[in-house]
Amino acid sequence: MPRPYFRSAACPDFAATHDIKARVHRNLTEKFNASKWLAENPDTYRLFKQFTLQAIESGVTRLGAKAVAERIRWESNLRKHGEYKMNNNAVAEMARRFMADYPEYAGIFATRGKKHAF
C-alpha cells in the first residue's frame, strides 16, 4: 500500500524542501521590482487610475485591484491599438500607489502588509 503524501518537520526531506522553496521565493522577488516596472510602464498605471476613478464616480466604495487590472487587459485587447502588458505582481503596488496619490480614497482597495520592499 503506498504511503500517503505527508510532509512535516519529522520527515527527513522537509528541511531540503523548505530550503528550496525559500530560494525559489527569494529568486522570484529579486527578479521583479514593482516600482521599476511601473516607472517603465506609466500608461498602465494611468489606465489603472482612470478606471478606478471611473468606478468611484459611479458610486463604488470598495474595489478589487485585480478587477481593475483585468479591465485594463480587456480594454487593451478590444481597442487593438496598443497592448498593455500587465504584470500581476504590480497590481498590489498600483493599488497602494493609487491610495497614496489619492488619500481621500484610502481604503478603496483592501491591502495586506508588504512582505518585501520592492
91, burial (CB in 10 Å: exposed 0-12, middle 13-18, buried 19+): buried
Give residue 118's pLDDT. Answer: 45
**Residue-averaged pLDDT of the chain:** 77
Q: What is the mean pLDDT of residues 66-92?
A: 78
Give residue 30's pLDDT. Answer: 56
Judge whether residue 3 has pLDDT over 70. Answer: no
Comparison of pLDDT for 77 and 64, the residue scoring more: 64
Judge whether residue 98 has pLDDT over 70. Answer: yes
Cβ(55)–Cβ(98) under 8 Å? no
Query: Which residues contact residue 81 at a Cβ distance below 8 angstroms, ignoring those fewer than 6 apart?
Result: none
Q: What is the mean pLDDT of residues 41-60?
A: 93
At 102, is the secondary structure helix, strand, or coil?
coil
22-45 in b/e form (b: 16+ CB < 10 A) is: eeeeeeeeeeebbeebbeebeebb
Judge whether residue 71 has pLDDT over 60. Answer: yes
